Amino acid sequence: MQPVVQISLDLTNIGEAIETAHMAIRAGVDWLEAGTPLILAEGLHGVRALRAEFPGVPIVADLKTMDGGYLEAEMMAGAGATHVVVMARAHEETIRCVVKAGRDFGVKVMGDNMVSPNMIDGAKWLEDLGCDYVIHHIGYDERRGIAARGERMPSPLDDLREVCQAVKVPVQAVGGLTLEQAIECPKYGAPLVVLGAPLTIDADSFKTADGNLEASLRMICNAIHSQGAN
């Protein structure tokens, strides 16, 4: 699979999300994500607004579904999402319901292995239950809590290669990655690269002289896309 750049619109109002999404598409981003903050703030309206503004662009709804899987996936599909997210720690039946809804309504299912007792086994289980993609995810609170105790903050890169080797479906790594690390994900076997927005361009190699965010993002997209299939 060729590398895909996805931008997570972790914003809390539709106007900012659409403005950021336009900038991202101009820069070369492939997929838009209605991030969890946007879904909490705007719900289905946010997804509908993105679909109306970007009719041909894949839209990921980061629901982090834990229950009511079929209905949540159906509603997001109706609003225009092309991908929905279900958690590995949900009940098996919930994952099966999301997968069934995905088949019924033509949306792809991304299974998130966050806080699985064994992340590799969690990824394999999601694939076995029919998920189309695996999100290998170290959560925000987990990372920050561990770091606050003076311990090494975990990274999805710690076992990303093993996760990618364990499943046949495409993998995405999420959780505390620097821009340089995100760009390197396809080399680990994870072709779906997600960037958070609002973005902090803090890597010298991706800063422009005038600090232009769109130009910096274009450089990042080019660096990811140029890696080709793995």
* pLDDT tens track, the chain, 230 positions: 899 999 999 999 999 999 999 999 999 999 999 999 999 999 999 999 999 999 999 999 999 999 999 999 999 999 999 999 999 999 999 999 999 999 999 999 999 999 999 999 999 999 999 999 999 999 989 998 998 999 998 999 999 999 999 999 999 999 989 888 999 999 999 999 999 866 554 444 444 334 578 888 999 999 999 997 44
Domain-embedded: residue 119 = yes
Domain-embedded: residue 134 = yes
Look up the pTM and report it: 0.92
Residue 56: half-sphere exposure toward Cβ, Cα within 13 Å: 2
156 and 174 Cβ atoms separated by less than 8 Å: yes
pLDDT at 213: 82
Domain-embedded: residue 18 = yes
Distance in angstroms (rounded) separating the CA atoms of residues 164 and 177: 17
Domain-embedded: residue 140 = yes
Q: Which residue type does 206 have?
A: F
Strand, coil or helix: what is 170?
coil
List the domain range (segments joined by +) for residue 150. 4-225
Reading the block at residue 32, the tokens are 């838009």
Residue with tokens 């609170």: 141
Closest CA to 90 of 107, 106, 112, 120: 112
Domain-embedded: residue 230 = no
Q: What interhelical angle do 69-79 and 36-53 show, nearest 10?
A: 40
Here the CATH number for the domain that contains residue 36 is 3.20.20.70
pLDDT at 57: 98
Domain-embedded: residue 207 = yes
C-alpha distances in Å from residue 207, one per residue of 105, 186, 194, 202: 42, 22, 19, 7
222 and 31 Cβ atoms separated by less than 8 Å: no
Helix, strand and coil in the chain, % to nearest 5: 50, 20, 35
C-alpha distances in Å from residue 71, one per residue of 27, 67, 99, 100, 133: 34, 9, 11, 11, 20
Distance in angstroms (rounded) separating the CA atoms of residues 191 and 194: 10
Distance in angstroms (rounded) separating the CA atoms of residues 177 and 159: 13
Number of independent structural domains in the chain: 1
Domain-embedded: residue 62 = yes
Distance in angstroms (rounded) separating the CA atoms of residues 134 and 122: 9
Domain-embedded: residue 88 = yes
